[in-house]
């Protein structure tokens, strides 16, 4: 019984938030307030439109973000559930600053 409880929530959380780009998209929408597809895409070198579309759909299904359509404009906004996921993002940031903060990032290749 303990084994099932221990793995169930963790596996489901990893499925919802562990896919590549998901936490960066969450950061862009919830923290940086980049709520348009092109803004998110442009802020993440290496992210391709097909993958961004897939991640946005997955995040909507998980109720982490909501999609808003006004006329011909589509925007994405964080939900209450997405706000709860911010603690995970902050934990990653704290870990990164503590153990990788002195490392410099190489400029992205063209």
- 59-107: pLDDT as tens digits: 999 999 999 999 999 999 999 999 999 999 999 999 999 998 876 555 4
- Give dist(CA 65, CA 57) in Å, integer: 9
Domain ranges of the chain: 16-96
Q: Is 80 helix (H, G, I), strand (E, B) or coil?
A: helix
Check residue 41 and give its pLDDT: 98
pTM of the model: 0.82
What's the rounded Cα separation, in Å, for the pair 72 and 110?
Answer: 32
**Run of H or E including 69:** strand 65-70
pLDDT at 5 over 80: no
| CATH architecture, domain defined by 16-96 | Orthogonal Bundle (1.10)
Which CA distances in Å does 85 have to 22, 27, 41, 45? Answer: 11, 10, 21, 23
Least confident of 11-20, 33-42, 61-70, 78-87: 11-20
Residue-level pLDDT at 110: 46
């Amino acid at each position: 019984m303990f084994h099932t409880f221990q793995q169930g929530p963790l596996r489901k959380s990893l499925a919802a938030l562990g896919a590549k780009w998901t936490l960066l998209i969450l950061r862009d929408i919830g923290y940086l307030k980049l709520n348009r597809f092109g803004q998110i895409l442009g802020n993440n070198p290496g992210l391709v439109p097909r993958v961004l579309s897939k991640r946005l759909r997955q995040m909507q299904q998980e109720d982490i973000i909501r999609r808003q359509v006004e006329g011909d404009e589509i925007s994405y906004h964080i939900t209450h559930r997405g706000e709860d996921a911010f603690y995970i993002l902050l934990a990653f940031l704290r870990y990164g600053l503590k153990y990788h903060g002195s490392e410099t990032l190489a400029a992205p290749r063209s």
